Amino acid sequence: MSERVGQPVTGAPSAWQRARCRLQVEDPFISWSATIGLGLLALFLRLWNLGSPREFEFDETYYAKDAWSLVNNGFVRGYVDDANDKILDGTTKGLWTDGPSMIVHPEVGKYLIGAGERVFGMDPFGWRVASAVVGSLMVVVMVRLARRMTGSTLLGLVAGVLLMFDGLEFVLSRLALLDIFLAFFILCAVTALVCDRDWYRARLARLVPDGQPVRSGWGPVRATLWRPWLLVSGLCWGLACGTKWTAVYPLAAFGVLVWFWSAGARRSFGVRWAIPKAAVGDALPAFGYLVLVAFVVYVTSWTGFLVHHREYEDHLSSTQYTQFTGSGHCDGETFVSDDPDKDARWSTATEPDQHGLSAIPQALESLWDYHRDVYVFHTHFLNCSTHTYQSQPSGWLLLNRPVGVAADTGIQPGTRGCTAPAGSDCLRQVLLIGTPTLWWGGIVALLFAVAMWVGARDWRFGVAVVGTASTWLPWLQYDTRPIFLFYAVAMLPFVVLALTLAIGWLIGPSRELTARRTAGVIVSGTFVVLVVMNFAWFWPIFTNGLLTHGAWLDRIWFSRWI
């Protein structure tokens, strides 16, 4: 490093030397080749037999049809009762009603699912292929993030392998659900923020003379105005929020983290009172790049609604999907307003139609009314419901309650390939569950990450801690409504990051063969191998494989997994 900077280094590198020279210890060509190779392997595994089972698995029954309607009609229409059977028979005509359907999640994920359907057709492969591609791209981004944070291609590949062989990520990559898209965009947004951290410090180093601390003032103002990686992150946050609203929590958490990172960069270059100065000089521009850009992207993602807002006003303003402004109670599994006279109909429903630019305010007001109804659905209606596979978020790291998304049971011996002994049977299942070795090891890694972030003040572990906390802890306030284990896929990349950083710590920074390094390699290597073997053992229940009843029970380790 000293040769690159052009001056001798007698101790630890200074802030200028660290910022101006990121040492590349591996050939970028080898690094990118390995990353792409791992991504292609992930894609192969996710595309293998993707169209099986040939049915609507779990909530695919909503998102696959909504996506098809969205990309073909411009907005989501309702459908007839037997639409699923007709679609599986190859029919897509005559299934849709004239009026729009009340959807409770934003549009971005459904646009991506619909893109696969437009290219490959309205069948299981068509509505799942977008998830497979995005799930594979997650592996690629995971490798690059871990490599940037550790400076090691090997550790980057370890992170990619761990993510690639997690059952939760794998199964969601083979389903037309929204959560894999949410997790991908959050991971991309955080990766861009880490790139911005490096870029910002390097820019400060170029603008501040070597070895001359900034004892007064704010430091170079130009460094705060143009930050391209923050712009990229804002775009990704907008797409994440445009997939599911829960992306707002990590956006807020990492926005605060960017402020403290910027303050730390200023302090390392000698700026005094760095935190309050960064609040003005860095946090305000970052708010524009992250929040305002994300908001514009989010609203833009509702273009289909805005163009067809009048259809929503005409059909939904007079239905049961209205906002309850008063209190309510549960009547069985239905939410009932205690004061029905206060039901708030859409304020735009009775307004005269506008045209041209004058219609924009009315469309935006209609979108706001729609959001109020969707918010009430999430915060009230579901409180009255229960579900067989709902799980408490406090137990997600323990994999407390997986989701059975498909099952074909009672296959008799001698039929359909079943080789079970007489008196038993066979079955096929797709189970949404993480790889236990990875998740249970991740608990230890996260505790270690907290200790390293607080005790050693290692910012890298802070990314893992903040990412996990912001995608997990907010769910604790909704533990009385049906929520599911697969929502935890948004926190998975940060669990993997904590594991990777812990593995890097175990191995140590030195390349010399020492007792610590030998022990670290053995422990770390054993863990990674166990994760892969555990994934292979669960492969049949990830991929709808045929199992005898006894072989299936060997993979169902706890009664709560049934």
Give the pLDDT mean for 479-497: 92
Mean pLDDT of 185-191: 98
Q: Which of 92, 94, 95, 90 shows the shortest CA–CA distance to 54?
A: 90
What was the pLDDT predicted at 362?
Answer: 81
Distance CA(503)–CA(531), nearest Å, equals: 14
DSSP structure string for 364-414: HHHHHHHHHHHHHHHHTGGGG---TT---GGGGGGT-S-EEEEEEEEEPTT
What average pLDDT score do residues 291-314 get?
90
Reference 104, options 366, 376, 481, 484; nearest CA is 376
Mean pLDDT of 504-521: 83
Residue of 169, 179, 175 whose CA lies nearest to 64: 175
Whole-number Å distance between alpha carbons of 436 and 412 = 30
Average pLDDT over residues 16-37: 70
pLDDT of amino acid 324 = 43
- 343-360 pLDDT, tens per residue? 444 555 555 555 555 667
Identify the residue with better confidence: 280 or 533. 533
- Decide: 114 and 63 in contact? Cβ < 8 Å: no
In sequence order, the 6+-apart residues with CB closer than 8 A to the CB of 183 are 138, 169, 172, 489, 490, 492, 493
Q: What is the DSSP letter of 54?
A: -
Q: Is the pLDDT of residue 193 over 80?
A: yes
Size of the chain in residues:
562
Say what percent of the chain tops pLDDT 70: 83
- Cβ neighbours of 466 (radius 10 Å): 19
pLDDT of 48 higher than 80: yes
The helix (run of H) or strand (run of E) holding residue 31 is helix 28-47
Mean pLDDT within 154-171 = 97
427: left (phi over 0), alpha (psi -120 to 50) or beta: beta
Tokens of residue 356, six digits? 């041209």
* Better pLDDT: 59 or 166: 166
pLDDT band at 385 (very low <50, low <70, confident <90, very high): confident
Task: Please state, in angstroms and rounded to a whole number, the distance separating the CA atoms of residues 50 and 43.
Answer: 11
Q: What is the mean pLDDT of residues 111-132?
A: 96
Mean pLDDT value of segment 30-47: 96
Which DSSP symbol is given to 416? T
Predicted local distance difference test score (pLDDT) of residue 20: 47
Task: Determine the pLDDT at residue 510.
Answer: 67
Residue matched to tokens 């010399």: 512
Distance CA 368, CA 209 (A): 50
pLDDT band at 212 (very low <50, low <70, confident <90, very high): low
Residue 330 token pair: 């549960």
Find the mean pLDDT for residues 29-48. 95
CA distance 102 to 537: 41
Longest CA–CA span in the chain (Å) reads 85
pLDDT band at 333 (very low <50, low <70, confident <90, very high): low
Which of 89-98, 145-154, 428-437 is the least confident region? 89-98
Higher pLDDT, 11 or 416: 416
Determine contact, residues 109/243, Cβ cutoff 8 Å: yes
Contact indicator for 243, 181 with CB cutoff of 8 Å: yes
Overall average pLDDT of the 283-292 stretch: 93
Distance CA 125, CA 129 (A): 6
Mean pLDDT of the chain: 86
